[in-house]
């Protein structure tokens, strides 16, 4: 269930009326690893396995190509509230040692990080990005928009989509949290063993440093955002060799890092 009907009062200068509105669902999910609590995330239900898969990949907890065992421990009103993943101890990455101790809310970029060193990311810089044009960018956004069913109903959900080098859609997911949506699409491609095909990450909102790091860890070299990019997102993108594009509209876009553009 991604949306729910609530009653509200619509007020204008000259009138008010009671009406029913469809709102995006935000619900907590406790993630256990080997039956031990790891973290709680606030998310929009559905695609929970993909969310967990992408999150543990980004946190350097589970990088294996083999899908882990995933089970629902508790639910409320048919919405999972506690899930457990079973991972052999020898497959747990270094990130597991840095257990999250805070609730991770849907709008938070670094919830659960305990020290400054926990936001440091290392890896081989992208040397060259595929060229992107306004025309191709708009085609990809139009395709992503056509699948944003929850946003069309509620106006309250974000979306993330991943495309391959031929601009073919590989995955699109929605969530109340921008970071969750990114985890879901990456997790979806991990489940299908198609992550190596990823070339473009499109996001419906702004880009923070954490979305850039998630893309870098997933080896996605180009990020295109509808809205703004933070200063740290630009700094990280420049360091990682990621082409970072923001303020994307039909006939314009702003490139902040590592441009490789076509004029048509």
The reply to whether 263 sits in an annotated binding site is no
Q: How confident is the model at residue 102 (pLDDT cuts 50, 70, 90)?
A: very low
Q: What residue spans define the domains of the chain?
A: 27-119, 132-262
The reply to whether 252 sits in an annotated binding site is yes
Please give the pLDDT value at position 119: 47
Residue 220 has pLDDT above 60, yes or no: yes
Taking alpha carbons only, the member of 44, 53, 19 closest to residue 218 is: 53
Rounded to an integer, the average pLDDT of 190-212 is 95
Rounded to an integer, the average pLDDT of 49-56 is 96
Q: Would you say the C-alpha torsion 11, 12, 16, 18 has a positive or negative sign? A: negative
Residue % of the chain over a pLDDT of 70: 88
CA 84 distance to own-chain centroid: 21
Residue 225 has pLDDT above 80, yes or no: yes
Q: Would you say the C-alpha torsion 140, 261, 258, 190 has a positive or negative sign? A: positive
CATH: 3.90.1140.10, 3.40.140.10, 3.40.50.2300, 3.30.420.40. Which one for 132-262?
Answer: 3.40.140.10
The reply to whether 53 sits in an annotated binding site is no
103 burial (CB, 10 Å; 0-12 / 13-18 / 19+) is: middle
Please give the pLDDT value at position 1: 66
Q: Is 108 a catalytic residue?
A: yes
For the chain, state the CA radius of gyration.
Answer: 19
Residue % of the chain over a pLDDT of 90: 69
Taking alpha carbons only, the member of 239, 233, 157, 143 closest to residue 254 is: 233
In whole angstroms, give the CA distance from residue 146 to residue 45: 20
CA 131 distance to own-chain centroid: 23
Catalytic-role residue among 108, 111, 229, 243? 108
Please give the pLDDT value at position 111: 54
pLDDT: which is higher, 3 or 50: 50
Give strand pairing partners of 70: 85
The DSSP code sequence of the chain is: --EEEEEEEEE-SS-EEEEEEEEE--EEEEEEETTEEEEEEEE-SS-HHHHHHHHHHHTTS---SSPPEEEEEEEETTEEEEEEEE--GGG--GGGGS---S-B-TT-SSTT--SGGGG----PPP-----EEHHHHHHHHHHHHHT-HHHHHHS--EEEEEE-TT--EEEEEEESSHHHHHHHHHHHHHHHT-GGG--EEEESS-B-HHHHHHHHHTT--EEEESS-B-HHHHHHHHHHT-EEEEEEETTEEEEEES--EE--
Please give the pLDDT value at position 219: 95
The reply to whether 152 sits in an annotated binding site is no
Q: How confident is the model at residue 264 (pLDDT cuts 50, 70, 90)?
A: very low
Please give the pLDDT value at position 116: 39
In whole angstroms, give the CA distance from residue 218 to residue 201: 10
Rounded to an integer, the average pLDDT of 15-21 is 90
The reply to whether 247 sits in an annotated binding site is yes
pLDDT: which is higher, 103 or 255: 255
Lowest-pLDDT range, 27-41, 119-133, 142-156, 250-264? 119-133
């Amino acid at each position: 269930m991604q949306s729910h009907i609530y009653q509200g009062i619509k007020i204008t200068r000259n009138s008010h009326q009671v009406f029913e509105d469809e709102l995006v669902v935000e619900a907590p999910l406790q993630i256990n690893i080997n039956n031990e609590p790891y973290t709680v995330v606030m998310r929009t239900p559905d695609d929970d396995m993909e969310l967990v898969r992408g999150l543990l990949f980004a946190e350097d907890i589970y990088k294996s190509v083999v899908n882990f065992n995933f089970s629902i421990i508790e639910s409320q009103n048919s919405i999972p509230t506690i899930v457990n993943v079973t991972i052999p101890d020898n497959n747990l990455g270094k990130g597991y040692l840095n257990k999250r101790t805070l609730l991770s809310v849907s709008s938070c970029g670094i919830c659960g990080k305990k020290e400054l060193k926990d936001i440091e990311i290392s890896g081989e810089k992208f040397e060259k990005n595929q060229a992107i044009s306004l025309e191709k960018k708009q085609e990809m956004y139009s395709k992503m928009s056509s699948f944003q069913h929850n946003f069309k109903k509620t106006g309250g959900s974000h979306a993330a989509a991943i495309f391959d080098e031929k601009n073919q859609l590989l995955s699109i997911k929605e969530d109340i949290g921008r970071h969750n949506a990114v985890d879901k699409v990456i997790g979806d491609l991990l489940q299908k063993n198609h992550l190596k095909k990823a070339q473009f990450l499109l996001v419906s909102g702004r880009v923070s440093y954490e979305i850039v790091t998630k893309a870098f860890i997933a080896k996605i070299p180009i990020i295109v955002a509808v809205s703004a990019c933070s200063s740290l997102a630009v700094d990280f993108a420049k360091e990682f060799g990621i082409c970072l594009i923001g303020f994307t509209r039909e006939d314009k876009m702003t490139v902040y890092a590592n441009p490789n553009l076509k004029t048509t």
